[in-house]
Structure 1
Amino acid sequence: MTTSVRIALDAMGGDKGPATIVEGAVLALARRPDLAFSFFGKQDELGPLLAARPALAAVSRVVHTDVAVRMDDKPSQALRAGRRTSSMWLAIDAVKKGEADAALSAGNTGALMAMAKICLRTMPQIDRPAIAAIWPTLRGRSIVLDVGANIGADARMLVDLAIMGSAMARIVLDIERPTVGLLNVGVEEIKGLEEVKAASRILHETAFPALIYKGFVEGDDIGKGTVDVVVTEGFTGNIALKTAEGTAKQIAQYLREAMAGSLLSKIGYLFARGAFATLRAKMTPPNGGVFLGLDGVVIKSHGGADAVETAGAIDLAYAMVRHELLRKIRETLALALSEHADSADLPHAPARTALEAAKD
């Protein structure tokens, strides 16, 4: 029998509580019977939930803790109050100890990144982990990173993001050599920050075997799907992500108002609701961001994710483990290390993690 993929779930993270996390696990297990779970949270809440779901209980264990990281905690506060005792830390620590293959949390993003970096550490050559998101596009899907882990990035970090993003794209998009673009204010080589232009020169001049560099891309290229992997630093990436999510909600609201405007509109909606459902599905990004660069698999679920979205994040964790994300990143980094070793003397721009920014 195939070895189970073991997922450590922070059952106390997010806005909707343990019941949503448990129900998401039920849905994911129905799709992937080779899953197994460790729930980290309050025994008196999780016990009855699992007892009512025998199939899930048979492949699950509960590790009790009543310490939870709050959504409004600064990362430094979360580390002081919840290190080694919170449900978030214990889920990550299960990966470090080899008791789980991946950790998933819908909790505080900054705290999750800070705890994951301290507990799991980064891969050799990687200074700072990044958050990679799956982005719906006109061509299908793309990978966009970094969408919030680091504020600022130097040329070497941007090149490393391109390498890690291409490794993830090989798994998620099933493309052997994904196309990669650097997000910039224009496609001309003379435009942009010096760090971005320096990264572009490295990517142009180096024959990376695992990716095809296409040059600069602009903001509208993300939705077009011009490239398979869009690389940027976390400040810009997070703004782009939140703008896209807000625009999707804005369009949905406009459609609802238009369909409710008259009796004829309401009748038209009855005939077109299947098309609207398809549109909604295409515009909604899949739940779950992957923390790339860590020596372990960590998935960030949306804080307000429902059970279906939670199951989607579990599916993403499953895919990262089954398709050996860490091995592919290590192999790609090892191949690339010698290719751009000469870039070691490039000046470094200041890059700050969410933890460092939160201290200000």
Structure 2
Amino acid sequence: MIDNYEHYITKNIKAFYKRRLFSPIVYIIILAVLWFTFSLGDILSPVKIDNSVSFETAYKDSDRYVRTDLSNLYFTGYTSKAGNDIKGYYYYCMRDGRCSIVLLAPSTCEEGLPTIEKLSVVGKIVKGKDTYTKFITGLSADLNWDETGLANTVSNYYLNEPEYHLKTTILMFTFYFGTLGYAVISLIFYTLCIFFPIFAPVCQNLVVFGNPHKMLAEAEEELATLPQLATEDMFITEHYFIMTSPYGNAIVPIKEILWIYKYSTLHKFLWYHFSISYTLHISANKHIYIHCPKNTKSDIDGIIDYLAEANHNILVGFNEENRLKVQTIQGKPLHVERLLARKKGSKKQN
């Protein structure tokens, strides 16, 4: 049992958010690694290249996703298929003094126009593999060229427009930047709560009962001077119930508590039952709900008995009658209560 509870609530709030820093930091690092490993910046903003830059040169310069202007494209008569669906149409044009191959999406080339005079296209530069090799083999046979000779004339790197999936790209970056934003906001919020614990939800929830600063200070003083009852992570002082656990923190005035009950959870692995834990549930005025998980039956029973004795209006035990009584007592939703409480506080200050 801890003997010194000086600033104990504040210390636990700080410790709680310090532990939570790990997840957003690791996630931001993972996103940064993905950004540089897969050149996500190029996907988001394709590099603009002109006709003087060959696809092979751009590829070797690590420019995978590019935007370029093409002119005088001619359909080769070959397509790239995915199953029975045509994925793209192979065209050729002259670029940097060499014959270059471009695989165009069906919508871009209107499903195989014989020639295209000018075209601005975004795509991925790809090094030719099996499908491309088959295309070169077929093209060389059509032209009565030696395959090696054609390979020396035609670059092994080509521009693949269908590989730049616009819808997929939009969805991917929406998820990427959405989750990145959430991680950054979480990181900022957790850091704020570490340096200024009063901004933590556990303290801000007290606004519906009064001044959070004064109530936190009062709870700290009562816990430090004379706690009425103390378990491993639950405490009762003269006026407050306090929880400081790895799963969260809570402060609620005893006079505001409406209903308390415990709930048991059986922990098992396959067919083996190895433990039972108990969760204390507390409902208070202004839609404040507190859950104290993974406690022992004796600790929770002691807390329930003490709270019921301290406030005879508290309903004890889970049953439908108590649930309906609490539902009748509860007023406006919590976010409305908070808003009204803050408005009243600002009027008093004025």
TM-score normalized with structure 2 length: 0.19
**Bigger relative contact order (CA 8 A; separation at least 6):** 1
As a proportion of its length, which structure holds more strand? 2
TM-score normalized with structure 1 length: 0.19
Structure possessing the higher radius of gyration over alpha carbons = 2
